Chain A
Amino acid sequence: MNALRSPARNRELLALIPVALLLSAGFAAVFAQENARLGNLSLVYGAYFLAVCLATHAYLRMRLPDADPYLFPLVALLTAFGLVMVYRIDESLARDQANWFVLGLVLFALTIHFLRDYDVLERYRYTIAGAGLLLLLAPRLPGIGQQVNGAYLGVKLGPLAFQPAEFSKICLVVFLASYLREHREVLIVGARRVLGVTLPPLKHLGPLLVVWGASMLMLVFIRDLGSSLMFFAAFLALLYVATGRFSFVVIGMALFLLGAWFFASTVPHVHDRVEIWLNPYNEPAGNGYQILQSIFAQADGGLFGKGFGQALIDFPGTHRALLPAAQTDTIYSLIVNELGLFGACGVILTYLLVSARGFKIALLADDGFSKLLATGLTAVFAIQAFVIVGGVTRVIPLTGVTLPFISYGGSSIVANFVLLALLLLISDRARREAAR
């Protein structure tokens, strides 16, 4: 009964309708561009999408009536946008993406179903941490690991291929939230000032150094600067929120930079990435190709972009990529190219709104674990968006991380829907308790 009258869910329902319309309009634009069947196919796609969203919405109405009303529509907006972009690149990729979207929603529902009492996660935190580490190292395991562009990112189990880093980021955040919830007091109280710098007590420093070590290990073994940066930044964010000690962040940052600098000068793959970032014009047709083409694509966009379907992705008449990895790494550059600076601002703003809602949940939550978990999940999500967009805009070295919910890729979509489910679970409890 309560479910039907939930004001939060009503707001969610209203917000979903413009999202479905936007998706229809996007498909219509792509069809119009390709002079293909304009007809009502775009509306059909829009209707399918709306139906899937409504089903999810109905499920949320039943299970989490008080959860944040804006998160799901915002994420649906990003997904719809991603579907149109991927469809515009390759129809068959979009079909995969749509399937993953549905699979992601199934896992989303399962997460909500089984983790309604998510405190249970705390009990298994070391198991979860171990699983997370195992997932991280899996790409280096013989037989199932895969190397992509010099980095070890993929795992292939029979017909199933996925990027475990997407899932391990959730495991890591769960562990850190739980660990820090328990130890934050001692980290604060036990801190001593050494040479004017506040240091955490040595006894409790161990696990934190382990996280630092894991990040460094990722640099060496996985050779993935992007994931490594993302994990460590999320860790520092949590550490800061848990302890309120900015000095810990500075020390952590220094440690990371030191390690990154060391490995950048010893591990060739990492070194190359940094070198390309600093001097892309040294090898415009070689190593620097992707970042340069990414920037050239943006330069072509201007303020308003060239319009859906107008950008060049391949050399005309060939399958030689003009913008390499347009459906994954450089999808943001394609967005700038076709929708211009304004379109890109819209995308960034949407990510910012998702982050804002995520942090709002953390503020509302009244137990430490919920607060830290919501903070960590939101931070890792926002930082992932920053790492890849920063990569293709040359703010930081370009590394292969997906743009959450927009980039083509099953692991990314499914994992991020699990992340969203956790956020909504926390939100539902927090808002209900706040209302009480």
Chain B
Amino acid sequence: MNRQIVKLFGLIVVLFAVLIGFTSYWAVFDAKALKGKEANARPLLEQQQIRRGRILAADGTVLAKSVAKGHGAGRRYSRRYPQGSLYGHPIGYSFVRQGDSEFEKFHNDELVGSESEFGSILEQLSGRSQEGDDIVTNIDPAAQQVAMSSLQEQGFGAVVAIEPASGRVEVLASNPPYDPNRVPYELEKFNLNTLERPLFDRATQGTYPPGSTFKVVTAAAGLDSGLITPQTAFAAPSPLEVEAQPLENDFNESFPPISLDTALTSSVNTWFAQLGQKLGESTLFEYMDRFGFNSTPAIDLPSDQVYKSGVYDEEELLGPGDPVDIARVAMGQERLAVTPLQMAEVAAAVANGGKLMKPQIWSRVIDPDGRVTKRLDPSEYSRPIDGQTAEELTTAMQGVVSEGTGTNAAIPGVQVAGKTGTAETPGNESCGGGEAENQAWFIGFAPAEDPQVAIAATVECTERFGNDAAAPIFKAVAESILASEGS
């Protein structure tokens, strides 16, 4: 019988080997696929057990935090946004079931503390549960509040404010807002609201016709390429035949030979159309590229939630060589579509002596023990124009505010440089019909001699013009930021 007993034992060995084989399959080889199964709640539940770091405004105001429910192994965290809808953009949301967006998504690794692999192994060994790092942003809460309430007076739109010298994003507001605290309950409703689109961050994803604010880019190209100087003067008749279509100035006014200052102050369309024609496609597109057009802005937000600015044919960006009416591009018409963030970057580059800094929302990362583990090191994105061009352009833009189309942006005792824009968008379906079909803009910076802040403000589907709808927003936000920086 002994032979059979040994064989039987052999069979048991084989059977147990099968068990080990199956266990290794589930625990190791197929583990990744199993974790992705919809029926598997474990990955979600584990996420809930990590205390995600807080997100703070520049002054320490808590914008997002995690609150615990339950104790011990049953403890789980969920996200709270104490400021409600004010920071729905750009902070976004992060929930286990609904996913994440915007700043929460971009900085997820730091917020869950999974930055260093070595650190997390150490923590596992020491039995410490994973904890996220806090992130302090550059957002100025007072100015964000001012931006949001000013926007809400004027209509749907967005405001972006950047510190020119560092690229710090101090305000990023989009109206209508949404309350991220409601996302677990109303995400579907937010998504179905195609009229207001509250989850749509107009500051980074709204691609609007820039209107006359784009003349700043055209002027910068003209001056920096040496094609014109501030003294170069030429006539600007109205109407002017361009591409077989008449192009008119406001009130169909014709101008005798004028220089850049006058042309920008009075926003003379036909003057910039001619400048655009002289520059040609390749030069103008080159300067657009230098200012960051045609690329995803280098801001710390998920790249699929930040749109490129440029001349669009449907979904496709056009470049030099494509059939483009360059004269109308030069004055901000044609199929130009730009984000408020991009226009704020244009203003910031001029304000910073021609150096464009990478716009960044985050400022520092603080670990659970209170140590600063990372600090924003401002870096240059590009140098679209030289210092002299920036200076000459600033002078011209000051005229816009002091005596031109943008007088509502003027701040008593402060020199403001800026440019208005009013793009007519007839038949714009997103405005829901009616007369209110203007896209009102103001971009600028202050103080002109030592710029502390560069701002782009825009209001969509309004009956009013840039100076009436957007310039007051600029003024209010700039005043708020200058007041807090002066104090």
Report the nearest B residue to A34, measured CB to CB.
B72
Please determine whether A309 and B27 come into contact, CB atoms closer than 8 angstroms. Answer: no
Please determine whether B42 and A312 come into contact, CB atoms closer than 8 angstroms. Answer: yes
> Once bound together, how far apart are the Cα atoms of A303 and B31, in whole Å?
10
Q: List 24 A-B contacts (CB under 8 A).
A: A32-B127, A34-B72, A35-B72, A240-B4, A242-B1, A244-B3, A244-B4, A285-B39, A292-B39, A298-B26, A298-B27, A299-B30, A299-B35, A303-B27, A312-B45, A316-B74, A317-B74, A318-B74, A351-B16, A371-B1, A372-B1, A379-B12, A386-B16, A389-B23
Please determine whether A316 and B75 come into contact, CB atoms closer than 8 angstroms. Answer: yes
8 Å CB interface, B16-44 against A = 16, 18-20, 22-24, 26-28, 30-31, 34-35, 37-42
Please determine whether A394 and B8 come into contact, CB atoms closer than 8 angstroms. Answer: no
Return B74 CB to nearest CB of chain A, in Å: 4
> Once bound together, how far apart are the Cα atoms of A231 and B245, in whole Å?
95
Tell me whether A79 is interfacial, beta carbon within 8 Å.
Answer: no
Return A297 CB to nearest CB of chain B, in Å: 8
Which of B30, B124, B127 has most A Cβ within 10 Å?
A: B127
B residues near A310, Cβ cutoff 8 Å: 73
> Once bound together, how far apart are the Cα atoms of A34 and B71, in whole Å?
10
Report the nearest A residue to B77, measured CB to CB.
A316
Apart from A295-B26, A312-B45, A386-B12, 20 more pairs, CB < 8 Å:
A32-B127, A240-B4, A241-B1, A244-B1, A284-B38, A288-B39, A296-B37, A300-B42, A302-B31, A312-B46, A314-B74, A315-B41, A316-B74, A341-B24, A348-B16, A363-B6, A386-B15, A393-B19, A393-B22, A395-B18
Please determine whether B39 and A281 come into contact, CB atoms closer than 8 angstroms. Answer: yes
8 Å CB interface, B105-148 against A = 124, 127
8 Å CB interface, A116-136 against B = none
Contacts known (A284-B39, A307-B124, A351-B16); A356 close to B9, Cβ less than 8 A: yes
Interface size for chain B: under 10, 10 to 19, 20 to 34, or 35 or more residues?
35 or more
B residues near A307, Cβ cutoff 8 Å: 124, 127
Please determine whether B69 and A317 come into contact, CB atoms closer than 8 angstroms. Answer: yes
Report the nearest A residue to B72, measured CB to CB.
A34
Please determine whether A348 and B24 come into contact, CB atoms closer than 8 angstroms. Answer: no
> Once bound together, how far apart are the Cα atoms of A281 and B37, in whole Å?
10
> Once bound together, how far apart are the Cα atoms of A340 and B31, in whole Å?
12
Please determine whether A352 and B12 come into contact, CB atoms closer than 8 angstroms. Answer: yes
> Once bound together, how far apart are the Cα atoms of A60 and B75, in whole Å?
47
Contacts known (A241-B4, A341-B23); A390 close to B18, Cβ less than 8 A: yes
Please determine whether A309 and B28 come into contact, CB atoms closer than 8 angstroms. Answer: no
Tell me whether A362 is interfacial, beta carbon within 8 Å.
Answer: yes
A residues near B22, Cβ cutoff 8 Å: 390, 393-395
> Once bound together, how far apart are the Cα atoms of A242 and B4, in whole Å?
8
The contact string, 1 if C-beta is below 8 Å from chain A, for chain B 311-329, is: 0000000000000000000
Listed from nearest, the 5 A-B pairs whose CB atoms lie closest are A284-B39, A317-B70, A299-B34, A393-B22, A299-B31
Return B25 CB to nearest CB of chain A, in Å: 8
Tell me whether B295 is interfacial, beta carbon within 8 Å.
Answer: no
> Once bound together, how far apart are the Cα atoms of A59 and B6, in whole Å?
31
A residues near B6, Cβ cutoff 8 Å: 359, 363
> Once bound together, how far apart are the Cα atoms of A362 and B13, in whole Å?
17
The contact string, 1 if C-beta is below 8 Å from chain B, for chain A 374-401, is: 0100010010001001100111000000
Give me the interface of A with B, judged by CB distance under 8 Å: 32-35, 237, 240-242, 244, 281, 284-285, 288, 292, 295-303, 307, 309-310, 312, 314-318, 322, 336, 340-341, 344-345, 348, 351-352, 355-356, 359, 362-363, 368, 371-372, 375, 379, 382, 386, 389-390, 393-395
Return A29 CB to nearest CB of chain B, in Å: 9
B residues near A237, Cβ cutoff 8 Å: 8
Return B78 CB to nearest CB of chain A, in Å: 11
B residues near A240, Cβ cutoff 8 Å: 4, 7-8
> Once bound together, how far apart are the Cα atoms of A362 and B8, in whole Å?
11
Return A185 CB to nearest CB of chain B, in Å: 12
B residues near A281, Cβ cutoff 8 Å: 39
The contact string, 1 if C-beta is below 8 Å from chain A, for chain B 235-250, is: 0000000000000000
Which of B19, B34, B73, B127 has most A Cβ within 10 Å?
A: B19
Return B12 CB to nearest CB of chain A, in Å: 5
Contacts known (A242-B1, A359-B9, A393-B19); A309 close to B73, Cβ less than 8 A: yes
> Once bound together, how far apart are the Cα atoms of A302 and B74, in whole Å?
22
> Once bound together, how far apart are the Cα atoms of A1 and B8, in whole Å?
38
8 Å CB interface, B244-280 against A = none
> Once bound together, how far apart are the Cα atoms of A363 and B3, in whole Å?
9
Return A415 CB to nearest CB of chain B, in Å: 20
Contacts known (A33-B127, A296-B37, A316-B73); A389 close to B19, Cβ less than 8 A: yes
A residues near B195, Cβ cutoff 8 Å: none
B residues near A32, Cβ cutoff 8 Å: 127
B residues near A390, Cβ cutoff 8 Å: 15, 18-19, 22
> Once bound together, how far apart are the Cα atoms of A386 and B75, in whole Å?
36
Report the nearest A residue to B18, measured CB to CB.
A395
Tell me whether B49 is interfacial, beta carbon within 8 Å.
Answer: yes
> Once bound together, how far apart are the Cα atoms of A216 and B7, in whole Å?
27
Report the nearest B residue to A374, measured CB to CB.
B5
Please determine whether B16 and A296 come into contact, CB atoms closer than 8 angstroms. Answer: no
A residues near B373, Cβ cutoff 8 Å: none
Which of B2, B12, B34, B127 has most A Cβ within 10 Å?
A: B12
